[in-house]
Structure 1
């Protein structure tokens, strides 16, 4: 019996964990895997670009690189709680194989490590609705919080990626 307890403790220690960068969009908490984020910076000046979707705010110069800046609240059609007008924003910079993109968030992103077992798959009806936008990796549970875990590389459609590259 004692060897069973020792084995149980070792399994708990060895449980795989996922390291997230957590931020708010509207009133909800979202997270992305830390390995998908190159850096977090205060949002620099944004230059609007013609013929881009409204959720693409424009481009910015971040450490010498010109990158497109996306507003995830607009992309997901999330309304900001009334009366909340943030004085400044932060940009999460992610680097895909073919492009680099910045995502605006209005609160200092937090670092959080969760056991993989605490992240449930998103309900199937949500996945069905977003059939070609399968960017919700799951729902993380941490204490009394629910965190929607995104796959940041799947937020843009392949057509949008092509537009960005050109």
Structure 2
């Protein structure tokens, strides 16, 4: 793309329209997620934290990384993970080199409970009736995010969030 095309007002307007449409899509998706997870006494943000912890089995996520990825303040996330801990979904561990740093993982019960929730999305959202494979959309979105980068943090978000897969049978 030529430099003049990159900065044209028309392209800027198109990108702004895309951001508006993506925000609308996020609201719709969060509402749909809330419908699926609310019977399990979870908020969307609680569910996001659980899924992120489930997807990072090789290395626990720090509390600050969870807050940043989910888009919550450290205080909001602290309250959220403490509630999940009390409910038996998660457990914390401290970094041996820096005791201020706390890491979160799912408990065995948390894994079982989350594995019971994930299939509910397939039932509720009828993925087989979509005109496009959701994985294709997700990959396209990741590529777009990588291209645009995350201007607030100066790096692509796609590289910091792993793909979501279910461990449910």
> Normalized against structure 1, the TM-score is what?
0.30
Could you say which structure has the higher helix fraction? 2
> Normalized against structure 2, the TM-score is what?
0.30
Q: Which has the higher contact order (CA 8 A, sep 6+)?
A: 1
